[in-house]
Amino acid sequence: MTCQHCCGAESIFDQKSAKRDHKRYKRKGPNKTTRLLLNALFKNDLTDLSALDIGCGVGVIQHELLKNGVVKTTGVDASTAYLETDKEIGINNGTSKLMKFVHGDFTDCAREIEKHDIVTLERVVCCYPHADELLNKSLQKTEKYYGIVHPRSNFLFTALNKCADLYLWMRGNPFRTFMHSEKKMHELIKSNGFEPIYRGTSSIWRICLFKKV
């Protein structure tokens, strides 16, 4: 993401949006794709592991993992409002001391972030123009499990993607969404020494969990 793209993300994922997502999380828990990814992770022993969530939003994955054995988390997001909400939830849960928050584009600040046992990117790669850079840098931070939720390569998402970008263009917002090749992304992940251990789908999204060999 360029700085201009990040500024666009700030205006979309603003305080109003963060409050709405927080309210939804409190009322209904994790959404479908997050729940599927978490359930795949929960089939493994997560005791005393650390987790890095890239594009963490209000921190749903962080908070749920901390309830299930993980001892520390790092959340990275380009939205100030979402990180502030993430921190607030951590304070309310009494887990804020176990959490670290990094504001910015992960590809820019990756050097500052240590390796973690678990790395997750839930509906994030579609917000990046350069998927290879994002995947390579995040895989380098992964010791055990790598979870990713990305759009399926189908007509429905392609149509939605074009409509979303047209709307953003009309609003003068530089933020854009991207459709990357599933095959190329999965080949890249496997070439970094990971094997798939879970694969799920929804109408639009592919939910995958990989384990380091």
Task: Give the DSSP letter string of 137-160.
Answer: HHHTTEEEEEEEEEE-SSHHHHHH
Can you give the pLDDT at residue 173?
62
pLDDT tens digits for 29-42?
Answer: 999 999 999 999 99
Cα separation, 135 vs 84, in Å, equals: 26
Structure tokens at 81: 């409002």
pLDDT tens digits for 138-184?
Answer: 999 999 999 999 988 766 666 666 666 665 556 666 666 777 889 99
CB 126 within 8 A of CB 180: yes
Cα separation, 43 vs 15, in Å, equals: 34
Percent of the chain with pLDDT over 90: 75
- Assign residue 16 the CATH number of its domain: 3.40.50.150
* Owning domain of residue 144: 3-212
Q: What's the helix, strand, coil split of the chain in %, to 5?
A: 50, 25, 30
Strands 205-212 and 194-201: antiparallel
47-65: average pLDDT = 97
pLDDT confidence band for 23 (50 / 70 / 90): very high
Task: Give the DSSP letter string of 64-107.
Answer: HHHTTT--EEEEEES-HHHHHHHHHHHHHHT-GGGEEEEES-HH
pLDDT confidence band for 204 (50 / 70 / 90): confident
Structure tokens at 27: 């009322």
Can you give the pLDDT at residue 126?
85
Tell if the pTM clears 0.85, that is, is over it.
yes
Cα separation, 175 vs 6, in Å, equals: 7
pLDDT tens digits for 98-121?
Answer: 999 999 999 999 999 999 999 999
- Residues facing 145 on adjacent strands: 118, 211
Q: What is the mean pLDDT of the chain?
A: 89
Q: Provide the number of structural domains found in the chain.
A: 1
Q: Is 205 left (phi over 0), alpha (psi -120 to 50) or beta?
A: beta
Can you give the pLDDT at residue 129?
84
Q: Which of 35, 39, 93 is nearest to 66 (CA)?
A: 93
Q: What phi, psi does 179 have (nearest 5°)?
A: -110, 115
Strands 116-122 and 72-77: unpaired
b/e 10-33 (16+ beta carbons within 10 angstroms → b): beebeeebbeebbeebeeeebeeb
